[in-house]
Amino acid sequence: MKYGFFFRYCLQRVGQCLLVIFIGITITFVIPRLAPTDPVESAIATANMSGQYTHPEAVAEIRQALTELYGLEGGILEQYFNFWKRLLKADLGPSYSSFPTPVMDLIRRSLPWTVGLLLTSAFIAWAIGNLIGGLAGYFSQRGWARTLGVFCMAIRPTPYYIMAFVILVLFAYILPIFPLSGGLAIGVHFSFSWRFITSLLKHAFLPSLSLVIVSGGAWFLGMNSLVSNIVAEDYVVYAEMGGVSNRNILFRYVMRNALLPQVTGLALQLGMIFNGALITEYVFSYPGLGYLTYNAVFSGDYGLVIGIAIFSIIGVAVAILIIDLAYPLFDPRIRHQ
């Protein structure tokens, strides 16, 4: 009986997840086609802007040839079915701005950078923010807790671009310890060498630091506020009166209870990794998915925009599914229901 309920619960959640993915992908397919974006016109406009001579009669021929080449012939329904056929074979089609490179190749090249940077930064920020936030919430009367609170409150409204730029100017220009831009030093390529690893870490440090400061500050404030409420709960007061050590109260009773919404937040944030971190990547010239999206939008490359969006939709939907499935494990109240 118990297993039957769990099976139904899982099936329901998986079904919801698949439906969300299907609707999300369909919307992603339709929206760029409603927008005044045309990859063929974009290619012609690029040639036009760059000052290359084209005979007027040749323009019509180029338009026709590119429409055929990009597979943009036929009605929207025909394109939609072809799109699903390709997608089910894990083929996202070609990028129009980097034709004929497959969209999957472009995403595959950028994804490791984004995942590496954002995943690491997200976990570090989450761990530090929650730990210090929890401590500061529990020992809220201490001077250091108040100072940290003020610091995080000050960081919270600061636009990320400004924060990132200040860090860049400080540590790459005034104190030239870290590089101004890029993912690796010039001449360094992927290899399992000390040079590669140090170059990678050195280039990732500032973008990561900027993300950790901003995101960690937000986690700090969230945890601080949750813990501040929980410490006034009866069971915490009872534990204190019972002589349970501060350490046990904080980590076993208070933070454990406060952690649930934070775990949900982290899972959602991890799902959003597939969106990339556009501003971070732009400011630090970091070769990730955010910058790829930016270029795709500006060049009218909706094949690529759709590809990235699909990854993002699947990422968020799967993250939500995992939370849904894992919640009963974390929270006995759900198990009980």
Partner 1 sequence: MSKLRKKILLVMVACIIATLTVLPAFAAEKMLEVAPGVLRRETIIIEDPAGRIENPDNFNRWAPGVTTSSTGLQQLALDTLWYIDPDAGISTPWDNSLAATKPIYNKDFTRMTAKLRKGIYWSDGVEFTADDLVYTVETCMAHPGVLAYGANFEVMVDKVYKTDDYTVVFELKKPNSRFHGLFTVRWSACFIMPKHIFEKVEDPVAFNFNPPVSLGPYVLKDYDKTGNWFLWERREDWQRTSLARFGMPQPKYALYINPGPSDKRVMAQIKHDLDVIHDIAPEGMITLAEKNPTSKGWFKGFPWAHPDPTLPALILNNERYPLNIKDVRWALTLAIDIVDVSLASYKGAATISAIAVPPTGGYLSWYFDSMEEWLGDFTLDIDIDGAPFHPYDSSATLRIAERARKDLGDIGNQVPTDPMEIKKALGYGWWKNAPDVAEKLLLRNGFTRDKAGKWLLPDGTPWKISIAVEGPARPIMTRGGTMIAEQWRKFGIDAKTVVIKLLWQSMSYGDGDAFMAWCIETWGGHPDLFWFLESWHSDYYRPSGEPVVFKNPMRFKNAELDSIIEGIQGLDFDDPKCLELGLEYVKLCVEEMPLIPLMSYNVFTVCDEYYWEGFPTFENPYTNPVPNWANSKYMFPMIRPKTTE
Residues that bind partner 1 (CB under 8 A): 36-38, 41-45, 48-66, 69, 94-101, 106, 109-110, 113, 165, 168-169, 172-173, 176, 180-187, 189-190, 282-285, 287, 291-292, 295, 297-298, 300
Tokens linked to 335: 């198990």
Our CB check for partner 1 shows the closer of 174 and 329 to be: 174
The letter for the amino acid at 181 is S
Q: Which is nearer to partner 1, 54 or 229 (CB)?
A: 54
Rounded to a whole number of angstroms, the minimum distance from the CB of residue 107 to partner 1 is 10
Considering the complex, state which of residue 57 and residue 234 has its C-beta at the smaller distance from partner 1. Answer: 57
Nearer to partner 1, 235 or 298 (CB): 298
| DSSP notation for 133-195 | HHHHHHTTTSHHHHHHHHHHHHHTTS-HHHHHHHHHIIIIIISTTS-SS-SS-TT--S-SSHH
Residue type, 168: L
CB of 23 or CB of 35, closer to partner 1: 35
Q: CA 255 to CA 127: how far, in whole Å?
A: 12
> What Å distances lie between residue 6 and 157, 253, 264, 324, 326, CA to CA?
43, 28, 20, 12, 12
DSSP string, 315-329: HHHHHHHHHHHHHHH
Nearest approach, Cβ of residue 53 and partner 1 (Å): 5
Compute the least distance from the CB of residue 42 to partner 1, in Å: 6
Closest C-alpha among 91, 90, 115, 80 to residue 292: 115
Which among 244, 232, 255 is positioned nearest to 136, based on CA atoms?
255
Tell me the two tokens of residue 286.
């970091």
Nearest to 161 by CA among 119, 207, 219, 123: 207
Calpha distance 131→125 (Å, rounded) = 10
Output the CA angle 195-182-200, nearest 5 degrees: 30
Judged by beta carbon, residue 129 or residue 307, the one nearer partner 1 is: 307
Q: Which is nearer to partner 1, 279 or 320 (CB)?
A: 279
Shortest gap between Cβ of 119 and partner 1 (angstroms)? 18
Work out how close the CB of 100 gets to partner 1 at its nearest, in angstroms, rounded to a whole number.
6
Closer of 107 and 132 to partner 1 (Cβ)? 107
CB 202 to partner 1: min, Å? 13
Q: How far is the CB of 114 from partner 1 (least distance, A)?
A: 12
For residue 94, what is the DSSP state? B
CA distance linking residue 246 with residue 252, whole number of Å: 10
| Nearest-approach distance from CB 218 to partner 1, in angstroms | 25
